[in-house]
Amino acid sequence: MFKFIKDIIAPKKCYSCGKEWHFLCEDCFEKIEKHYFFDEICYVCKKYSKNFEVHDSCKNYSPLQRGDSWKAERSIFYDKTIILTHYKIKLIKKLVKDFKFYNKKDIAEDFWELLIEKMIKHMPDELKTFKKQDFIVIPAPMNFFRKLKRWYNHSEVLAKYIALDFWFKFEKNIIKKIKNTRQQSKLKKENRLKNLNNSFKINKNKVDIIDNKIIILVDDIISTWTTVNEISKLLKEYNPKKIIVITIASWY
């Protein structure tokens, strides 16, 4: 009721065309997709892959840090990334920033509606083969102090909408961020993995529910995949059937 009254008094307006009831209307998003369509790719090698699956060969990708003494073997732990659009688009960048930093949580509703369409299109096998109880939706966690500063975890807001739409189980306390790391987008590519080293922790009291489940890991932006991969690495220790990353935008 409160939301209905709020929409009547101060209706949303599309950031692009000014049309009421949406911050990003379908017509404007269709124009974006027409010129900046996000191809189905494996996000590791950036080459074509049906439904955004990570190639089996790419899961063994092992870059090494260079330029300093710190080195670490790597492999890819998530299985799929479904990405809505490109972060380089000014309109998308403005919407994401307002959603993350300026308390405009309602923007999540528009991203949610568009992401649901993309998930239905690119998760045909999973949605047909498995039951709703086989899925768990997990948001990328935020450090306590950063969440206190922003008032909410934007990935959590979006993840709740996705879970509710599909009637999937929502779990926000499986993964915790225990270090208040520097913002990934402000770091060079070679420093991002080092920045996240040992910054996440899994809740051992909840690991039993991960076994043989399809994990939907929700984040806002993916760039060098370090954040989602570090989280996926922890989750893979407890035998999930598959990890699918859902994100609003990509830097690349």
Q: What is the tens place of the pLDDT at every residue in 128-184?
A: 999 999 999 999 988 766 777 777 888 999 999 999 999 999 998 898 887 765 555
Of 121, 31, 77, the C-alpha closest to 215 is 77
Asked if 140 contacts 219 with a C-beta cutoff of 8 angstroms, the reply is yes
| Euclidean distance between CA atoms 158 and 108, whole angstroms | 6
Q: What is the tens place of the pLDDT at every residue in 15-47?
A: 889 888 889 988 899 998 888 888 899 988 889
pLDDT, the chain, mean: 83
* Three-state secondary structure of 16-43: CCCCECCCCCHHHHHHHHHHCCCCCECC
- The two tokens of residue 27 are 């017509």
Asked whether the predicted pLDDT for residue 61 surpasses 70, the reply is no
pLDDT of residue 95: 93
Which has the minimum average pLDDT: 8-17, 65-74, 127-136, 194-203? 65-74
- SS3 percent helix, strand, coil of the chain, rounded to 5, is 40, 15, 40
CA angle at 124 for the pair 127 and 131, rounded to the nearest 5°: 10
pLDDT of residue 189: 58
pLDDT of residue 67: 44
Q: What structural domains and CATH numbers belong to the chain?
A: 2-62+75-250 (3.40.50)
| Euclidean distance between CA atoms 60 and 97, whole angstroms | 34
Q: In the chain, at which residue ranges do the beta strands (DSSP E only) sit?
A: 80-86, 135-139, 169-170, 175-177, 200-202, 214-222, 242-250
Total-model pTM: 0.85
Proportion of the chain above pLDDT 90, given as a percent: 42
Neighbours of 151 (CB within 10 A): 8
Q: In what order do the strands lie in the sheet with 242-250?
A: 80-86, 242-250, 214-222, 135-139, 169-170
Higher-pLDDT residue of 70, 168: 168
pLDDT of residue 158: 92
Asked whether the predicted pLDDT for residue 102 surpasses 90, the reply is no
